[in-house]
Amino acid sequence: MILVTGTVRLPEGGFDKLLPAAKIMMTETRQEDGCVTYAYARDLNDPDLMHVSETWRDREALTAHFETPHMKVWRAAIVEVGLISRDLKAYSADEGEPI
Protein backbone atom coordinates (compact mmCIF):
# COMPACT_ATOMS: atom_id res chain seq x y z
CA MET A 1 0.00 0.00 0.00
CA ILE A 2 1.22 3.51 -0.80
CA LEU A 3 0.26 6.54 1.31
CA VAL A 4 0.63 10.04 -0.10
CA THR A 5 0.37 12.89 2.34
CA GLY A 6 1.37 16.51 2.54
CA THR A 7 0.33 20.05 1.81
CA VAL A 8 -0.17 22.50 -1.03
CA ARG A 9 0.18 26.23 -0.33
CA LEU A 10 -1.99 28.52 -2.46
CA PRO A 11 -2.13 32.31 -2.73
CA GLU A 12 -4.75 34.21 -0.74
CA GLY A 13 -8.17 33.15 -2.00
CA GLY A 14 -6.65 30.36 -4.09
CA PHE A 15 -8.43 27.53 -2.30
CA ASP A 16 -11.85 28.97 -3.17
CA LYS A 17 -10.84 29.42 -6.81
CA LEU A 18 -9.50 25.87 -6.99
CA LEU A 19 -12.49 24.24 -5.29
CA PRO A 20 -14.51 23.37 -8.45
CA ALA A 21 -11.46 21.71 -10.06
CA ALA A 22 -10.61 19.95 -6.78
CA LYS A 23 -14.08 18.40 -6.58
CA ILE A 24 -13.79 17.08 -10.14
CA MET A 25 -10.28 15.77 -9.43
CA MET A 26 -11.43 13.93 -6.31
CA THR A 27 -14.46 12.41 -8.06
CA GLU A 28 -12.45 11.21 -11.07
CA THR A 29 -9.51 9.92 -9.03
CA ARG A 30 -11.70 7.95 -6.63
CA GLN A 31 -12.91 5.94 -9.64
CA GLU A 32 -9.40 4.90 -10.67
CA ASP A 33 -8.30 1.30 -10.32
CA GLY A 34 -6.08 1.07 -7.26
CA CYS A 35 -7.32 4.21 -5.51
CA VAL A 36 -8.32 3.35 -1.95
CA THR A 37 -8.81 6.89 -0.60
CA TYR A 38 -8.28 10.36 -2.05
CA ALA A 39 -9.06 13.61 -0.26
CA TYR A 40 -8.21 17.28 -0.02
CA ALA A 41 -8.94 19.37 3.07
CA ARG A 42 -8.62 23.02 3.96
CA ASP A 43 -6.58 23.78 7.07
CA LEU A 44 -8.88 25.22 9.74
CA ASN A 45 -6.27 27.76 10.90
CA ASP A 46 -4.76 28.60 7.52
CA PRO A 47 -7.34 28.97 4.71
CA ASP A 48 -4.69 28.98 1.99
CA LEU A 49 -3.20 25.63 3.01
CA MET A 50 -4.62 22.46 1.47
CA HIS A 51 -3.91 19.07 3.03
CA VAL A 52 -3.65 16.06 0.73
CA SER A 53 -4.31 12.48 1.82
CA GLU A 54 -4.20 9.53 -0.58
CA THR A 55 -4.02 5.74 -0.28
CA TRP A 56 -3.14 3.58 -3.27
CA ARG A 57 -3.12 -0.19 -3.69
CA ASP A 58 0.44 -0.13 -5.04
CA ARG A 59 3.08 2.04 -6.73
CA GLU A 60 1.82 1.03 -10.19
CA ALA A 61 -1.63 2.45 -9.47
CA LEU A 62 -0.10 5.73 -8.25
CA THR A 63 2.13 5.93 -11.32
CA ALA A 64 -0.88 5.37 -13.60
CA HIS A 65 -2.74 8.15 -11.74
CA PHE A 66 -0.08 10.66 -12.76
CA GLU A 67 -0.86 9.99 -16.44
CA THR A 68 -4.65 10.41 -16.33
CA PRO A 69 -6.42 13.16 -18.28
CA HIS A 70 -7.93 14.60 -15.09
CA MET A 71 -4.44 14.93 -13.57
CA LYS A 72 -3.35 17.04 -16.53
CA VAL A 73 -6.42 19.29 -16.07
CA TRP A 74 -5.73 19.50 -12.32
CA ARG A 75 -2.10 20.52 -12.84
CA ALA A 76 -3.20 23.28 -15.22
CA ALA A 77 -5.80 24.53 -12.69
CA ILE A 78 -3.18 24.75 -9.95
CA VAL A 79 -0.83 26.71 -12.20
CA GLU A 80 -3.66 29.07 -13.11
CA VAL A 81 -4.50 29.72 -9.44
CA GLY A 82 -0.84 30.21 -8.60
CA LEU A 83 0.79 27.43 -6.63
CA ILE A 84 3.15 28.79 -3.96
CA SER A 85 4.53 25.48 -2.67
CA ARG A 86 3.89 21.78 -2.73
CA ASP A 87 5.17 19.33 -0.11
CA LEU A 88 3.89 15.83 -0.88
CA LYS A 89 5.57 12.56 0.00
CA ALA A 90 4.78 8.91 -0.78
CA TYR A 91 5.30 6.20 1.82
CA SER A 92 5.12 2.42 1.63
CA ALA A 93 2.91 1.04 4.40
CA ASP A 94 1.11 -2.06 5.55
CA GLU A 95 -2.63 -2.24 6.21
CA GLY A 96 -2.23 -0.52 9.58
CA GLU A 97 -4.27 -1.17 12.70
CA PRO A 98 -7.10 0.67 14.44
CA ILE A 99 -6.09 3.06 17.21
SS3 call for 60: helix
pLDDT tens digits along 61-92: 999 999 999 999 999 999 999 999 999 999 99
Q: CATH for 2-91, among 3.40.50.920, 3.30.365.10, 3.30.160.150, 3.30.70.100?
A: 3.30.70.100
Residue ranges covered by each domain of the chain:
2-91
Average the pLDDT over 7-22 and give the result. 96
The stretch 35-41 carries a mean pLDDT of: 98
Q: What is the DSSP letter of 1?
A: -
DSSP string, 67-90: TSHHHHHHHHHHHHHT--EEEEEE
What pLDDT score does 95 carry? 87
